[in-house]
Amino acid sequence: MLKIDNKPFVITVATATSVCGTSAAIAVGAASKAKKNDLSLAVSISIIFTVLMMVFEPIIIRAVGLGEVMGGALIGGTVDSTGAVTVAGTALGETAQTVVVLVKSIQNILIGFIAFAVAVFFATKVENNGNGSGRKIGASEIWYRLPKFILGFFEASLLASFVVLPAVGKETVSAINGVLDQYKNWAFVLAFTSIGLDTNFRELKEQFQGGKPLTLYVVGQLFNIVLTFAAVYLLLSGKFFPLPNLAV
């Protein structure tokens, strides 16, 4: 409907909105071969709205009396950044913080699968002039497009879940994570500083095409909020299914 011909940009914004913000944008941007400026624009829009939603969504949830479980799940499914999700959930309470981290972690797991699917789809369909002939692609093409940090994510998750945690216990793992978080935060700072230094606002201004990219994000995010609320109400309102025991 917006007639945006830049399909890599569209899928990058869509994934940032529906999965986990900048990490998903970077992963899918690589898989779809999005241009550097397209990725910068998608990340910039995502960060701006993430800050706004991190501040105002908990306020709105409290005002309507949605509760910590439903409110936390809604935040976890709609706020784009893992860090911002944790902060927003904490504003609602301890239970909400547990819920937001759980929901966002589930979304984070999807990054690899979505990036792989986008790589295959763009190589066989979109970049094949949309004629549906589905040219054959080799494993090397998929490997080239697949963001390699996804593999590190899965390897670290499997190692922590099935090796480190059973061996040393939850408290030790939490202590290790507390130390590693400092390095992670510095890595994020350096990564986003690099994106900022590589972002030319004069070039981004030309990409706005009369506000279409902004409209794309806003419409997508509103649809995301409505769809997520419907799922949250169905699963966590207690009217259709028993509420989960978060203490387990």
Overall average pLDDT of the 179-191 stretch: 82
Return the structure tokens found at 54: 């991190």
Kindly indicate the confidence band of residue 208, based on its pLDDT and cuts at 50, 70 and 90: low
Kindly indicate the confidence band of residue 11, based on its pLDDT and cuts at 50, 70 and 90: very high
Overall average pLDDT of the 229-243 stretch: 89
**The pLDDT of residue 234 is above 90:** yes
8 A C-beta contact, residue 158 and residue 145: no
pLDDT at 204: 66
Angstrom distance (rounded) from CA 12 to CA 34 = 8
Query: What's the pLDDT tens digit per position in 58-106?
Result: 999 999 988 899 999 999 999 887 778 888 888 888 889 889 988 988 8
Distance set, CA 222 to CA 79, 147, 218 (Å): 11, 28, 6
**The pLDDT of residue 240 is above 90:** no
- pTM, whole model, 2 decimals? 0.78
Beta carbons within 8 Å of 135's beta carbon, 6+ residues apart? 123, 124, 128
Kindly indicate the confidence band of residue 143, based on its pLDDT and cuts at 50, 70 and 90: confident
pLDDT at 138: 67
pLDDT at 56: 93
Kindly indicate the confidence band of residue 207, based on its pLDDT and cuts at 50, 70 and 90: low
Kindly indicate the confidence band of residue 248, based on its pLDDT and cuts at 50, 70 and 90: very low
Beta carbons within 8 Å of 180's beta carbon, 6+ residues apart? none
Spell 148-163 as b/e; 16+ CB within 10 A means b. eebeebeeeeeeeeee
- Report which of residues 199 and 133 the model is more confident about: 199
8 A C-beta contact, residue 176 and residue 137: no
Q: With pLDDT > 70 as the criterion, what percentage of the chain qualifies?
A: 90
| Domain boundaries defined on the chain | 7-236
